[in-house]
Amino acid sequence: MAFDPAVLRDSFAVVERRADHLATYFYAHLFAHNPGLRALFPDEMAEQRDRLFAALTRIVLRLDDPAQLTGYLRALGRDHRKFRAAPEHYPAVGASLIAALRHFSGHSWTPEIEKTWTEAYTVIAQVMTEAADAVPDGTPAWWEAEVAGRRRAAADITVLTLAPAHPYPFVPGQYLTLSSPRLPQVWRPYSIANAPRPDRTLDVHVRRVPGGLLSTALVDDVAPGESLRLGPALGDAVLDPGSHRPLLAVAGGTGWGQTKALLEQLAAELATREVTLLLAARSDAEQYDLAAVERLLAHCGRLRVLLAAPRPGGGRDAAVGLVRDALLRHGDWSGWDVHLSGPPGLAPALAGLLAGLGADPARIRHDPVPATFNRTRPLTSSDWFLDQRDVPWINRTELG
């Protein structure tokens, strides 16, 4: 990538603290100049505003690591097929992005900065559109899937079984994105909760987030026979294929879905490979799907399961405390592969703790942590990553 990352980083630092205004301006500019594009976006745009900025932050912070950045952009470009984003839309998005950056940079904006942003955007858009274009013929932009079954697993958690109309390629540990015609253009990620099956059905474990758009519809309303759309499988929190090291899997809440997929994939090896599963919930009542855990235990001699659910009234802090205690009690995690899955914040908090207990950070895997939550936005990109917060549990009402 020929442009100078330092120019972009410095210019981004100027607008970062005005992220919300910048994103609002960007979308107003985009839709005013290209009214036809409005229909590609959901009615409710507050979350998308945050996502746009999270994506920009992610890109700017990765400019010095072109290989990683290119991988991310290629996946993003392929995924954008499901939004019906076409190559001719990219210049319009770029023009609105530059207009928004210029507007909020004030006097610090210079022709050199504009030239650098334009070059960078051109490269980014090219990587995304080429990746979308290189998708093999016949690969759908999204997969239609029928809801083949639904099961209430706990008060706020529903397991949906989905039957895609066409073969759906994925590796256990990946997630998909879901959209329902009940909420057009609203897409959200959910972990795939099983290894591939002969009948190619997929399970997702969905927790209702208070006030949440799609999770409420999926947990309460969506009925068998209804159709949902699946975006292509994403994520690289998959098992290291060549590894015979012992495995620690920590799952919190619906994070059990992703972990279950990994353990199903590992089932054949579980007779010989040492696996510790630490399964955390906010209460006994939310410790769901234990029959599946018992089935795995019955067949897998070297699987050890620790259930962590606090006494009634303990709440999320007590649950997090139990997980920490269990990890600390074991002591030394060097030589272990580690998979972390659960509410946002769980992975960053536990990855730090485990690294301190000897786990190799390169062998700790988890999904990307969404940057958009109900909290005050940090002021700088270093705050963004370094600020230590409590683990936010999945229930928004408890986030305060």
Ligand X SMILES: Cc1cc2nc3c(=O)[nH]c(=O)nc-3n(C[C@H](O)[C@H](O)[C@H](O)COP(=O)(O)OP(=O)(O)OC[C@H]3O[C@@H](n4cnc5c(N)ncnc54)[C@H](O)[C@@H]3O)c2cc1C
Binding stretches for ligand X (CB under 6 A): 47, 175, 188-191, 204-207, 209, 211-216, 254, 257, 343-344, 367, 370, 372-374, 394, 396
Distance CA 127, CA 104 (A): 27
Q: Please count the residues of this chain forming the interface with ligand HEM, following the rule CB under 6 A.
A: 19
Report what 206 binds from ligand HEM, ligand X, none; CB cut-off 5-8 Å by kind.
ligand X
Angle, helices 66-79 vs 46-61, to 10°: value is 150
Q: Residue 275 corresponds to which tokens in the numbers above?
A: 């696996």
Can residue 60 be called a binding residue for ligand HEM (CB under 6 A)? no
Which stretch in 78-86, 167-175, 195-203, 307-315 sits in contact with ligand HEM by CB under 6 A? 78-86
**Binding at 78: pick from ligand HEM, ligand X, none (beta carbon under 5-8 Å per type):** none
Show the tokens assigned to 228.
Answer: 């949902």
HSE (CB half, 13 Å, CA atoms) of 140?
Answer: 15
Question: Contacting ligand HEM (CB under 6 A), which of 9, 51, 62, 245?
Answer: 51
Stretch of 2-10, 88-96, 252-260, 380-388 lying at the interface with ligand HEM (CB under 6 A): 88-96
The helix (H) or strand (E) run that includes residue 384 is: helix 381-386
Is 193:174 a contact under the CB 8 Å cutoff? no
| Contact string 108-147 vs ligand HEM (x = CB under 6 A) | ----------------xx--x-------------------
Torsion angles phi and psi, residue 247, rounded to 5: -120, 130
Residue 149 near which of ligand HEM, ligand X, none (CB within 5-8 Å, type-dependent): none
Q: Does 62 bind ligand HEM (CB under 6 A)?
A: no
Q: Which of 89, 273, 316, 363 binds ligand HEM (CB under 6 A)?
A: 89
The total of other beta-carbon atoms located within 10 Å of residue 106's CB is 9
Name which of 104 and 288 has its Cβ closer to ligand X: 288
Could you tell which of ligand X, ligand HEM, none binds residue 262, using a CB distance below 5 to 8 A set by kind?
none
**Element (H or E) spanning 275, and its range?**
strand 275-280
Which partner from the list ligand HEM, ligand X, none does 254 bind, CB cut-off 5 to 8 Å by kind?
ligand X
19-33 vs 46-61: helix crossing angle, rounded to 10: 110
Which residue is closest to ligand X by CB?
Answer: 212
What does the CA dihedral 247, 250, 256, 259 come to, rounded to 10 degrees?
-20
Q: Is 229 within 8 Å of 179 (Cβ atoms)?
A: yes
| Nearby residues of 373 by Cβ (< 8 Å), 6 or more positions away | 344, 392, 399
25 binds ligand HEM (CB under 6 A): no
CA distances from 88 to 37, 114, 125, 127 (A): 11, 21, 11, 14
d(CA 296, CA 290): 10
Name which of ligand HEM, ligand X, none residue 29 binds, using a CB cut-off of 5 to 8 Å depending on partner kind: none
Q: What is the DSSP letter of 393?
A: P
53 binds, among ligand HEM, ligand X, none (CB under 5 to 8 A by kind): none
Q: Which is nearer to ligand HEM, 95 or 318 (CB)?
A: 95
Give the footprint of ligand HEM on residues 145-204 (CB under 6 A). Answer: 177, 187
Q: Which residues bind ligand HEM (CB under 6 A)?
A: 37, 40-42, 48, 51, 55, 76, 80, 83, 85, 89-90, 93, 124-125, 128, 177, 187
